[in-house]
Amino acid sequence: MMELLEAIKARAQGLETELVAWRREFHQHPELSHQEERTGETVAAYLRDWGLTVTTGIAGHGVLGVLKGGRPGRAVAWRADMDALPIAEKLNLPWRSQVEGVMHACGHDFHLAIALGAARLLSSLQDRLAGHYVFIFQPAEEGPPVGDSGAKGMVAAGVLDNPKVEAVCALHVAPNLDVGHIRYGPGVVMAGADRIILTVTGKSAHGATPHRGVDPILVTAQVLNHIQGFLAQKIDTRSPKVLTFGRIQGGNRFNILADEVTLDGSLRYLQESVRQEVLNGLRQQFAGLSQATGAEIKLTVEPLFPMLKNDPDLTDQAVQILLTLLGQKRLKLLHPAMGSEDFPYFAARAPGFYFFLGVRTPGGRGQALHSPTFNPDEAALPYGLTAAAGLLACLAEPEFPALAPAGPVPHEEDLGTM
Ligand SMILES: [Zn+2]
Ligand SMILES: [Zn+2]
């Protein structure tokens, strides 16, 4: 196995030029969620050239490529997301986005290049490999308001079923972690998220005679105070949770009391029990407020993404592989992040391992994901490819190979913006 891993490391370095070219090609032609037609076609053409069995048009523009190793083994999957964001790029690099107002600002161009690189690299070693390699290129990770989650759609279409995938892995670029470093967690990695819609219905009246109506704007101010007071002091302070509103709407004229106010926000949590406690508690708070004010307060909960949890046994194996490939110095344990992801739909159907790959130039200042100046360092690409191809090759072996035992991995500072 060590010989195979050495070959993977060497070939990953050898593919650096291609990785950069692919990344820039995708960066120049970003497509929004559920519009990834060109991206999907580009990916499918490469995979076919390299001899993979390719299926297109899954859950929209999703693409599946399957590579068969020369020996019997297990089926393993790698997932890359393909969509970009409605952001106007502010950098003026030669490979800047050529689509007005659309940008790969979440690094999915990196994810695409790394996944293509893994397909290319492993196809060149096909005879020496065990098992099956399933490459999943999914549409629409970025989520609402644009349609349903791409991961959900691809899982429903059966991408993990034939062959039956026994481990599914993915990475996300991390702008506040140095190039080629990796952060991982053995349990919860990212928060579960619900969209929370609150409708406060009062009774319209002249602005001069509020006593003849019920002012939903005043009630909304109380609602917001109650919510944050409740979260701060009624939920165990050791349990992470956050509820914020990004949109508020109501009223139509300065001297007429509104009849309704709508608040649109998101709740994030790291434990299912905390989520239930928050939702039940809020309903109680609103019932009391409603009685006191005469306004009707309706809470609507739309589940967005489940929590992202790594499989502990798979994580243990993955860490041994990553330590062997990249060395102790590059690996750190992470604190769970309050951001969310649709990878959990895959991880619900097969043991999953999701980790972060640093893309910050050493000594530089990392730009946040989803920012118009996001500029990940391309030197990270070969590291991402080494990790992806090495993980897949080892995990596809019929018996997990003997590797260097994993020593203690230190905790590092928070991922911050994730
Ligand atoms: Zn994103
Ligand atoms: Zn992303």
Q: How far is the CA of 354 from the centre of ligand 2 (A)?
A: 12
Q: Per the structure, how many domains does the chain have?
A: 2
- 141 noted as active-site residue: yes
List the structure tokens of 402: 């003997």
C-alpha closest to that of 384 among 35, 33, 110, 49: 110
- 83 noted as active-site residue: yes
Q: Is residue 410 part of a domain?
A: no
Return the C-alpha torsion angle 305, 82, 154, 243, nearest 10: 10
pLDDT in tens, 364-414: 887 899 999 999 999 999 999 999 999 999 999 999 998 866 666 666 655
Collect all residues with Cβ–Cβ distance below 8 Å to 292 and sequence separation of at least 6.
none
Instruction: For residue 237, give its domain range.
Output: 192-305
Q: Are residues 123 and 203 in the same domain?
A: no
Tell me the mean pLDDT in the region 349-355: 98
Q: Are residues 270 and 164 in the same domain?
A: no
* Count of alpha carbons within 13 angstroms of residue 124, beta-carbon side: 14
- Please report the pLDDT score of residue 35 as a whole number: 96
- Please report the pLDDT score of residue 239 as a whole number: 94
Mean confidence (pLDDT) of the chain:
95
- Please report the pLDDT score of residue 12 as a whole number: 97
The 10 Å Cβ neighbour count of residue 294 is: 12
Give the SS3 label for residue 63: strand
Q: How far is the CA of 172 from the centre of ligand 1 (A)?
A: 9
Task: Please give the Cα distance from 118 to 169 (Å, whole number).
Answer: 12
Q: Are residues 350 and 295 in the same domain?
A: no
Which ligand number lies closest to the CA of residue 370?
1
C-alpha closest to that of 117 among 26, 15, 43: 15
C-alpha closest to that of 158 among 336, 287, 346, 317: 346
Using the predicted structure, report yes or no on whether residue 351 has a pLDDT greater than 90.
yes
Q: Is residue 405 part of a domain?
A: no
What phi and psi values does residue 61 have, to the nearest 5 degrees?
-105, 20
**Residue tagged active-site, from 141, 178, 215, 341:** 141
Using the predicted structure, report yes or no on whether residue 10 has a pLDDT greater than 90.
yes
Q: Are residues 18 and 140 in the same domain?
A: yes
- Please report the pLDDT score of residue 139 as a whole number: 97
Q: Are residues 10 and 145 in the same domain?
A: yes
Q: How far is the CA of 248 from the centre of ligand 1 (A)?
A: 23
Using the predicted structure, report yes or no on whether residue 49 has a pLDDT greater than 80.
yes
- Please report the pLDDT score of residue 334 as a whole number: 87
Using the predicted structure, report yes or no on whether residue 333 has a pLDDT greater than 60.
yes
List the structure tokens of 137: 């290129």
CATH number for 233: 3.30.70.360
Q: How far is the CA of 412 from the centre of ligand 2 (A)?
A: 22
- pLDDT category of residue 417 using cuts at 50, 70 and 90: very low
- Please report the pLDDT score of residue 402 as a whole number: 86
The residues whose Cβ lies within 5 A of ligand 2, an ion, are: 106
pLDDT in tens, 234-287: 999 999 999 999 999 999 999 999 999 999 999 999 999 999 999 999 999 999
